[in-house]
Amino acid sequence: MTMTRVKDEAIRRTSPGVERASLPEAVLLGHGGGGRLMQELIADCLGVLGPANGLDQPNDAACLELPSGERLAFTTDSFVVSPLSFPGGDVGRLAVCGTVNDLAAMGAQPLGLSLGLVIEEGLQREALAQIIASIRNACEEAGTRILTGDTKVVERGAADGLFINTSGVGLIAPGVLLGGERARAGDRVIVNGPLADHALAILAAREELPLQGDFHSDCAPLNDLTAAVLEAGGNGVRALRDLTRGGLAAALNEIARQSHAHVQIVEGAVPVRPAAKAACDLLGHDPLSMANEGKLVALVAPDRADDVLAAMQAHALGREAAIVGEVKSLDECRVTARTALGPTRIVDLPSGELLPRIC
């Protein structure tokens, strides 16, 4: 299904005509935003690579079955966040957590990570050493380690300080089956806490916020939380996604597409701190589309939802977890939000790059 979609898109995009002509010739910032433009770039330029998980982005990591029957999750992320340090973390912590969380969303525990550094000449060694210390600490927190690495240095002006790639390999426990294509009508939508703090912490660090606020990135490794969720929910847990670029809106739209589902959330039930809500309102951003780095959404069968919620709330990284919606049906592909006043609105896949270099 995934493959067909990519191929169809690729054919459509590469066929001559108005649509092709209207595509920009150059890559734009918005193509990196995790939204529609990015999907379009992937279909147009990367579709030839085939149904690569992650390239087509149906799930957070690829699943690899070995001759022994063991299943591995394998994922990669590059981190280009600006600035390199921000309240609640830095690019090093972000890199470890982002990759661990992609594995965790597949129900995998990390076996180890790789670390690829692209350093701009002139980066202070002190700053680099601090970021490496963050990497080590985040690895310890997640119970994993850096197994292999690569270091490149490019001349001044050819990169912006430091870019990090972390890839990860994880072991999926026997019997665990998760995927955005597994949603069923009635499944509950659960998030593990308040949204939008990471994106706002980055904006505050860039002094791009229209108001004062004490925003800290939520950046944290979620693999211990997902282990608790899977223990509590068993096979009632259909899908997990970590909520990075494009936020809850992007994750639910992906799941809706994969399962051809109508997912409805109750806007008032989605945890967002008042200061974050106020900042998003002023910026004209939807908290549902804002990036997080320590949040996930779980789709859980109704009879296991309370157990999963309780397990989350018993965990340090899920104290403010909440059931925020449900899968209404499998006969249409859309995400809606019931608002405070009663009517519903469409929660669309974010279009382009709301906030460049947020991770």
The residues in 160-179 that bind a copy of itself, with binding defined as CB under 8 A, are 160, 163, 165, 167, 169, 171
Question: Nearest distance from residue 44's CB to a copy of itself, in Å?
Answer: 7
Q: Which is nearer to a copy of itself, 163 or 215 (CB)?
A: 163
Residue among 181, 98, 89, 212 nearest 144 (CA): 98
Question: Least Å distance between CB 67 and a copy of itself?
Answer: 7
136 is an interface residue for a copy of itself by CB under 8 A: yes
Say how far apart CA 284 and CA 78 lie, in whole Å.
Answer: 27
Grouping H, G, I as helix, E, B as strand and the rest as coil, residue 194 is coil
Site membership for a copy of itself, residue 310 (CB under 8 A): no
Subset of 217-246 contacting a copy of itself (CB under 8 A): none
Kindly state whether residue 142 participates in binding a copy of itself, applying the rule CB under 8 A.
no
Number of neighbours of residue 316 by Cβ within 10 angstroms: 8
DSSP 187: P
Q: 312, 192 in Cβ contact below 8 A?
A: yes
State the minimum distance, in angstroms, from the CB of residue 150 to a copy of itself: 5
Which residues in 37-56 contact a copy of itself (CB under 8 A)?
A: 38, 41-42, 44-46, 48-50, 52-55
The rounded distance, in Å, linking the Cα atoms of 193 and 210 is 24
Characterize the bridge pairing of strands 188-191 and 296-300.
Answer: antiparallel
Does 147 engage in binding with a copy of itself (CB under 8 A)? yes
With tokens 């806490």, the residue in question is 193
Written as six digits, the tokens of 195 are: 């949204």
E strands, 205-349, in order? 237-242, 262-266, 296-300, 322-329, 334-338, 344-346
With CB under 8 A as the contact rule, the residue among 17, 18, 22, 25 that binds a copy of itself is 25
Neighbours of 174 (CB within 10 A): 8
Contact segment (CB under 8 A) with a copy of itself among 142-150, 198-206, 315-323, 340-348 equals 142-150
Q: 304: number of CA atoms within 13 Å, CB side?
A: 17
- 254, 240, 126: which is closest to 172 by C-alpha? 240
Residue 118 touching a copy of itself (CB under 8 A):
yes
Give the x-and-dash track for 261-290 against a copy of itself (CB under 8 A): ------------------------------
**Residue 146, amino acid:** I
Measured from the CB atom, the residue of 157 and 342 that comes closer to a copy of itself is 157
Q: Is 80 in the site for a copy of itself (CB under 8 A)?
A: yes
Give the tokens for residue 203: 């904006």
Q: How far is the CB of 167 from a copy of itself (least distance, A)?
A: 4
Closer Cβ to a copy of itself, 186 or 356, answer by number: 356
- Minimum Å distance from CB 287 to a copy of itself? 23
From 127-135, 209-217, 282-290, 342-350, span contacting a copy of itself (CB under 8 A): 127-135
